Structures are given as C-alpha cells and as structure tokens.
Amino acid sequence: MATIDIYNLNGAKVGTMDLADEVFGAVNEDLLWEAVKHYRAAARAGTHATKNRWRVSGSGKKLWKQKGTGRARIGSIRSPLWRHGGTVHGPQPRSYDYTFPRKKLLGALRSALASKFADGKLTVVNAFDVKEVKTKTFREALDKLKIEKTALLVEVPKHGNRNLELSSRNLAGTELVESNVVHPYHLLRYDHVIFTQPAIEKLQVSLTKSASRREHKPEAGEGEKKTARAPRRRTRHEKAAEVA
C-alpha cells in the first residue's frame, strides 16, 4: 500500500496517509479517453442550425409553367438547386449527450487519480485554512506547495469556506470543485491537483467500495432459491405409445 505526505498551507509536512491499491493501483487509458470524450460531448451547446427550403425567404409561387418553355421545370425559387435556396441535410439543433455507464465513470476516476499520483502531481493538505480574502496570500501558499502551473483544488461538499472561494477564483488556471462532483476531465485538464485530507479520504472510501462490488462476482446458484423443477410435458407421440 502506497503512502502520501500531508502538508499545510505553509509547505510543512504534518503527516502521512495510506492510499488504497484499488484506487491508486493502475491506469486504464481507454477509460480515461472515453470519460473525457463523454464529458466534452455533453458540454456541447448543439445550437447550430441551417435553413432548409421551408425557412429561407422567397415566394412559393411556381415561376413558369411546367411545359412549353424549353427550360427545366421549377417549382419554387427556394429550391436547393438555386442560389440563395435552402440547405439540404444541414445541421440542426440537437443534444450531443449520451448515456455513460457509472461503473466506467468511477473506473476512469480511479485511473485519473492513479495517473496524477504516479506523475507526482497529487498533493494533499490538511485543510485550506484561509483566514482572509486575499488572492496574493493564497498565491503565496500555492508557491510554498510548489505549484507552478495550473491547479485543481478539491474540497469536501458544503465546506462553507467562503474565504477560499473568493481568494482562488481570481487566480488564472485555478479551479475549486467539490469531491462529490470531481470528474476525470477536471483531473486531466489541470497540471496539479490539491486535495484536502477529508476530501480525498471520503473519495477513496467511495471508490474502494465501488471497486470491491465490481470485483465480487456471485458464484453459480449463489443467492438464488432452489425450486423444484416442474415435470416435462409428454408429447402426443409418447402418450400414443403408452396407450398402445
């Protein structure tokens, strides 16, 4: 079982924490790709639209009679064959979201955490103890934690740390999310991830339970009630043979 150091906002080590092998053990790149693809597809607005022949401006009157002019027959000036006519099979507003299995999402989240830990881009702090609303002070705290590029801050749900929200929201390349909504896309988008100790403990327990349920496969007949099998119905040929 691997361990990770716990720091405070001054950059001093204050303890260690054990990491579960079920969560931080392996990286599945295929799952990560699928999770990121689903997240980006669901974020698409899908508001693109083109005008077909019923939406472009123009009269619907037949321009000339069907026969006798020597020209090609035409029914409307809004025909797609003509300039300024409608668009055929053009994009229309729609949703790009699709169903993504929860087991795959949790597996991708475990892989993203394992990838960050393997790259040394995962930091755990005991708490985001921000005593005043000051962006400069919080930036200095990140410098003490050796955060040079973009960073993702993960806190427990309903933490109520208003000073943290106000101090971090003006920092470019920094985002604050709650542990119950963190997505593999968030972990891969930012260079460094900073968890509070309660947040990573709660997330690790949840992911460990899901991994244990996935690995447990009931044996044949386990959990099923044994019922008496009904006798097989005799065919008419068998009945005729008995009579004979």
**Structural domain boundaries of the chain?**
2-45+99-214, 50-90
Amino acid making up residue 135? T
CATH architecture of 2-45+99-214: 3-Layer(aba) Sandwich (3.40)
Task: Take residue 48 and report the two structure tokens written for it.
Answer: 């693109």
Helices 102-118 and 197-215 cross at an angle (nearest 10°) of: 130
Task: Please give the Cα distance from 106 to 111 (Å, whole number).
Answer: 9
Helix (H) or strand (E) holding 18: strand 13-19
pLDDT score recorded for residue 238: 74
Q: Is 10 left (phi over 0), alpha (psi -120 to 50) or beta?
A: alpha
Backbone phi, psi, residue 243, to 5°: -65, -40
Measured between alpha carbons, how far is residue 92 from residues 41, 45, 55, 95, 155 in Å? 16, 12, 12, 10, 40
Closest-CA residue to 110 (of 186, 31, 164): 31
Q: Which is nearest to 203 in space by CA: 134, 156, 140?
A: 156
List, in sequence order, every residue forming a beta bridge with 5; answer none if it has no partner: 16
Instruction: List the chain pLDDT tens, one digit each, 244 residues.
Output: 788 989 988 888 888 989 888 888 889 999 999 999 999 999 999 999 999 998 999 988 899 999 999 999 999 999 999 999 999 999 999 999 999 999 999 999 999 999 999 999 999 999 888 888 899 998 999 999 988 889 999 998 877 788 888 988 888 999 999 988 999 999 999 999 999 999 999 999 988 887 676 665 555 555 555 556 667 777 777 777 776 5
What is the pTM (predicted TM-score) of this model? 0.75
